[in-house]
A = this chain, B = another copy of it.
């Protein structure tokens, strides 16, 4: 199977497949006489593994690590657990950051106060530093 078919069957784009090869996530396949990449179905599983990991937002270097662990089956699996745990922490902190952000944005959204023009709209005023905000002190 050439790269176009692999792309269709795996759901990865042709460029992505070549990129994964360049990054060492999948191994370089044989080539035809005309220098076209020639794949067997094993690589489909590898791409599927990578896709599953990417869906969990693991980075390519984390995935690379997992791939190398797969290739040395005897090693203790704590490394895998640790990676997942670390990743869980990252995701958790990103969620709480975004929640704070969301709250701040909602607050900000309320500041418009139905003004008609930009200079009266409270949103831009809120984003300005305190120096420029309400110079005559009429803010409640």
Contacts and interface: CB of A to CB of B under 8 A. Distances in A.
Given A45-B132, A56-B105, A123 B84 contact: yes
Interface residues of A, number: 53
A40 interface: no
Main secondary structure of the interface of A (DSSP, over half): helix
B76 A116 contact: yes
| Oligomer copy total | 2
A121 interface: yes
Interface of A: 44-45, 48-49, 52-53, 55-57, 66, 69-70, 72-77, 79-81, 84-85, 87-88, 91-92, 94-95, 98-99, 101-102, 104-106, 108-109, 112, 115-121, 123-124, 127-129, 131-132
